């Protein structure tokens, strides 16, 4: 991890584990303030969703863990950079919607 890394913690159980907290503290990794119940504001969640839809939409979806791993690597390589850029560009709009509605979730 680079020296400018910041942990974006959306309060997932795995981020709350004692081992993770200890490591974060020992490495002095700063933590970004992040509203609870807000996966819509996390760009990587949208990228994962895009990849999931592409894999599920295949004529032969993976049936083993090995096939899933291979499919994820293929879809990651095929994912257009523009799709990632569009997701990142949508974040200010998502944040504004969240702030305006006070619902913690957006539905884009």
More confident position, 31 or 18? 18
pLDDT score for 1? 58
CB under 8 Å, gap of 24 or more: what pairs does 95-104 form? 95/41, 98/35, 98/38, 98/40, 98/41, 104/35, 104/36, 104/37, 104/38
More confident position, 78 or 101? 78
More confident position, 10 or 45? 45
Mean per-residue pLDDT over the chain, rounded = 81
Q: Are 106 and 97 in contact (CB under 8 A)?
A: yes
User: Domain map of the chain by residue range?
Assistant: 1-34, 37-101
* Cα 84 from Cα 17, distance rounded (Å): 29
pLDDT score for 108? 46
What is the average per-residue pLDDT within 57-78?
92
Q: Is the pLDDT of residue 28 over 70?
A: yes
Task: Determine what percent of the chain is predicted with pLDDT higher than 90.
Answer: 28
* Cα 47 from Cα 50, distance rounded (Å): 5
Distances (CA, A) of 98 to 18, 46, 80, 84, 91: 30, 16, 27, 21, 10
């Amino acid at each position: 991890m680079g020296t400018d890394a910041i942990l974006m913690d959306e309060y997932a159980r795995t981020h709350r584990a004692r081992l993770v907290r200890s490591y974060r503290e020992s490495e002095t990794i700063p933590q970004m303030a992040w509203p609870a119940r807000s996966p819509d504001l996390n760009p990587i969640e949208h990228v994962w969703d895009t990849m999931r839809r592409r894999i599920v939409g295949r004529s032969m979806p993976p049936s083993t863990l090995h096939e899933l791993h291979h499919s994820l690597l293929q879809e990651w390589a095929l994912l257009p950079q523009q799709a990632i850029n569009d997701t990142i560009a949508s974040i200010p709009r998502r944040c504004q919607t969240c702030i305006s509605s006070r619902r913690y979730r957006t539905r884009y």
